[in-house]
Structure 1
Amino acid sequence: MLIQKYFETRLELVEAGLKHYLTFDKKYAEELKEAMSYAVFSSGKRWRPLLLISIYEMLQGYQKNKQLSSIIPAACAVEIMHNASIVHDDLPCLMNVKERRTKQSVHKFYDNTTAILAGDALYTLAFEALADIPDKKMGLHATRILAGYTKTYGLIGGQAVDLLNKRKVMKINTLKYIDLKKVGALVQASADIACLLANVDDEVRQAMNTYALNLAISYKMIEDIEEDYNRSGEDFDFTQDYVPSSKSSYTGLMGFDKA
């Protein structure tokens, strides 16, 4: 199977799973539920759940769609958690991002209060999804993993450090720490949960953890390069339109070639 076709088929499973978890009885709190769906179905790349599935299959062997049903809840949980963090991170009291994925951020499209509640609800929905893992012992362990990568030493801790350094020119180690937490934490969680569900030994889990960290930093470096050049996508031209970043970035701190 070609890699593009592989990811297309896995993406279909993830989207179906997300639609399942984001389908509500809209009798009450209708705007809140709409905001949750707006946040999740906003053209995200879904690379965290796809990473979880692909690592699982790499370790277990190629699986048919029905065989993957047991890990789709975990894949959806990671994606839901990611979107919950974006909703809160975009708020005016944090990073004040007004547009996300070519659409208005949740707090701009709705309002701050709805965005706060939508983020809260998505955080809890992620853990509800993990409860659907058929093996309940593994489900409990997966919950601990995701919680660990989300709390003060993970995603949320990274957001706190980012906020404290918002108007500062960061040192490279501070920038790496923020990205390893804000981006890397859920990438690590994806790899770690995949290893858990595949029932592999600690040596393999450590190797996948290292891979996840390197992948996260690479992703952020590429993102900084694209932002500095003010271009992205297939037609990205590395020789034109250079615009130095106004914020601390890998290209700004290391130079383009090293980044």
Structure 2
Amino acid sequence: MLIQRYFETRLELIENALKSYLSFDNIYSKNLIEAMRYTVFSGGKRWRPLLTIAVYEMLTNPRKNSDLSDIIKAACALELIHNASLIHDDLPQVNDRKDRRGNQSCHRKFGHATAIMAADALYTIAFEVIAGLSDPKKALTGVRMLSDYCKTYGMIGGQAVDLLNKRKVMKLNTLRFIDLKKTGSLLEAAADLACLIAETDAETRQLMINYTQNLGYAYQIIEDIIEDYNRSGDDLDFSQDFIPTSKSSYTGLMGFDKARHAGEKLLLECTKIIRPYPNNDILNEFIQMIQERLP
């Protein structure tokens, strides 16, 4: 109950902040603004901003009467970038997704040109938000961090490699690179920004980055297991012979048992990393939520 209450209160802070960042009105670009809001408020789970805040609060324990304004800015900057990346990812020239979160994808509802501009605008607002950290030095470092996690050796680089290999049977190292960069980069950024604002030492920073990297990678492996069975993760029937739907997946490249073991091992590493820290209940909850998806 306490954990549920924690998520509810932090989600409320995130939603209110996102609304304030997208509260502008301009009659000449009304369609653009609608496309931006449509994407950001279309039912995302907000895992990245929640993770950012949870790492910060574990390291600083400020849950009582403390100012969370800077960490909320960092969290929302990540969420804005994540949503921008989804718009680009859904475009016909990329993954050609017609639906996202149970709704029409942005380009299907607003047109390709408006969707591209909406994503571009969300990127720029994200950097404006992180540049607004109360400490100018942290703000500058935060902008650089976010840039590094997004660019050619980060999220966008992972997307590029994914596109390049879309119709190929990938090697395990290639698939791992794609997932660690395309999906994992913003999770690592969540830990890195939390450590920046919490003013941790280099060792703690690396541990938190390792935690989020392992967490995200485990999630990708488990999603592959579920997707390759082409069934809901709640009622998989493993009495049937295993035939992966894709050779370019962890189950296709490693087999079910090895993929499952790899996911479990990564989650165990996450548990070990945060074990020494008091107030690690929320980060343990992230581990449990992924663990429960394991068949």
The answer to whether the superposition gives a TM-score over 0.5 is yes
Query: Structure 1 residues 232, 66: CA separation in 2 closer, same or farther (over 3 Å shift)?
Result: farther
Aligned to 2:75: 75
CA–CA separation in structure 1 for the residues paired with 2:256 and 2:135: 47
5 Å matches for 1:12-91? Answer: 12-64=12-64, 67-91=67-91
Larger deviation: 244-253 or 98-107?
Answer: 244-253
* Partner SS for 2:203: helix
1:239 aligns with 2:237: yes
Instruction: Give the Å deviation of 1:142.
Output: 0.7
Larger deviation: 96-105 or 47-56?
Answer: 96-105
Instruction: Give the Å deviation of 1:63.
Output: 2.2
CA–CA separation in structure 2 for the residues paired with 1:161 and 1:38: 28
Amino acid at match of 1:239: D
5 Å matches for 1:131-170? Answer: 131-170=131-170
CA–CA separation in structure 1 for the residues paired with 2:210 and 2:35: 35
Preserved CA contact (<8 Å) 1:230 1:243 = no
Aligned to 1:201: 201
Instruction: Give the Å deviation of 1:66.
Output: 5.1
Instruction: Give the Å deviation of 1:198.
Output: 0.3
Larger deviation: 192-201 or 96-105?
Answer: 96-105
Instruction: Give the Å deviation of 1:230.
Output: 3.0
- Unpaired stretches in structure 1, ≥5 consecutive residues: none
1:180 aligns with 2:180: yes
- Unpaired stretches in structure 2, ≥5 consecutive residues: 260-295
Aligned to 1:124: 124
1:228 aligns with 2:228: yes
Instruction: Give CA deviations for 1:128-163 in whole Å, capped at 9, x if unaligned.
Output: 111221112111111110000000010111111000
Preserved CA contact (<8 Å) 2:77 2:127 = yes
* Partner SS for 2:68: helix
Instruction: Give the Å deviation of 1:64.
Output: 3.7
Amino acid at match of 1:33: I
Amino acid at match of 2:202: D
Aligned length: 257
Aligned to 1:171: 171
CA–CA separation in structure 2 for the residues paired with 1:20 and 1:245: 43
TM-score, normalised with respect to structure 2: 0.83
* Partner SS for 2:91: coil
Instruction: Give CA deviations for 1:140-188 in whole Å, capped at 9, x if unaligned.
Output: 1111100000000101111110000010111111000000000110000
CA–CA separation in structure 2 for the residues paired with 1:65 and 1:28: 42
Aligned to 1:110: 110
Preserved CA contact (<8 Å) 2:70 2:133 = yes
Larger deviation: 245-254 or 2-11?
Answer: 245-254
Aligned to 2:215: 215
CA–CA separation in structure 2 for the residues paired with 1:137 and 1:232: 47
TM-score, normalised with respect to structure 1: 0.94
Query: Structure 1 residues 39, 219: CA separation in 2 closer, same or farther (over 3 Å shift)?
Result: same
Instruction: Give the Å deviation of 1:257.
Output: 2.1
Preserved CA contact (<8 Å) 2:35 2:114 = yes
Larger deviation: 1-10 or 161-170?
Answer: 1-10
* Partner SS for 1:28: helix
